Amino acid sequence: MKTLAIAKIPVSERPRERCLESGPGHLSFRECLAVILGTGPQKHGCLGLSEIILSQPGKGFSTAEQERAFFTAMEAGGGNLSSIEGLGPAGRARLLASFEMARRYAAFRIKKTPKLTLIGTEYSYPPPLSTLALDKIGDFLRSSAFEWLGFVPLHRTGELGDFCLVEKGARTHVNTDPVELFARVLAVRPKGFFLFHNHPSGDTTPSTHDRSLTQETSRLGREFGIRLLGHWIVAYDSQAFLQ
């Protein structure tokens, strides 16, 4: 990772100055962390350190899901912070105290979220959640020449998250270990999730292995209390849905 020293950034573009001038709402989450940290190791700076912190629990995820993974880790006590090189006791204390303030503010402003009702195998949320999840998979993923495996989480707020890539494999297969998959799913601790993988051949007919993966993932989901909502197999111009 290249150095992101604050001293090398024009004063008007530095997170702290922008926070004071334009308000904290104009900062990215990474920049908010940098302002809280104040300093960072010489080779990374506070911006680089904030990026390292965010990548710990959600490496490879989208920005939004990376932030959720960070919040999930912090909810568990922030124990993983002690393993981050360059983040000392003062920085850890700042992050933990900031998260506690945010938690107390959230408790102060708590509001009810409309609940989704389960009807058969779909939640009553038009269009069907399975279709909304499928919309998260763009043409780039659909047309990949290599197989990949990932998921789209349904968060406990009732919101569908972004696509989270778990593994990218070879032209004809991908590592589909359900245990490894759940290690990644648990990083965002959703209410449920849709499993996705592709068939570069263009034929999305489910194989025996695909059906076995669906059944084993569903079984593990029940053990963890996280429901498998369905399994999409996609290609560039076709798809199949397993439940």
Residue 148, pLDDT score: 92
Domain with CATH 3.40.140.10 in the chain: 118-242
Q: Using one digit for the tens of pLDDT, what is the confidence trace for 7-35?
A: 667 777 788 888 898 888 888 888 899 89
> Given this model, what pLDDT does residue 193 score?
96
d(CA 24, CA 35): 10
Cα 35 to Cα 22, 63, 122, 194, 217, distances in angstroms: 14, 18, 43, 36, 41
Average pLDDT over residues 188-212: 92
Across 12-26, 81-95, 143-157, 167-181, least confident range:
167-181
- The rounded mean pLDDT for the chain is 82
Query: Has residue 44 got a pLDDT over 70?
Result: yes
pLDDT at residue 173 greater than cutoff 90: no
- What is d(CA 25, CA 126) in angstroms, rounded to the nearest whole number? 32
pLDDT higher than threshold 60 for residue 118: no
Q: What is the pTM of this model?
A: 0.64
Select the more confidently predicted residue: 227 or 124: 227
pLDDT of residue 137: 93
> What percent of the chain has a predicted confidence (pLDDT) above 70?
85
Higher pLDDT, 111 or 140: 140
- For 118-242, CATH gives 3.40.140.10
Instruction: Decide if pLDDT at 231 tops 90.
Output: yes
What would the mean pLDDT of 106-132 be, rounded to a whole number?
56
Q: What is the dihedral of CA 53, 59, 64, 70, to 10 degrees?
A: -40
What pLDDT, on a 0 to 100 scale, did the predictor assign at position 120? 45
Q: What is residue 3's predicted lDDT score, i.e. its pLDDT?
A: 46
Q: Which two tokens stand for residue 208?
A: 């025996």
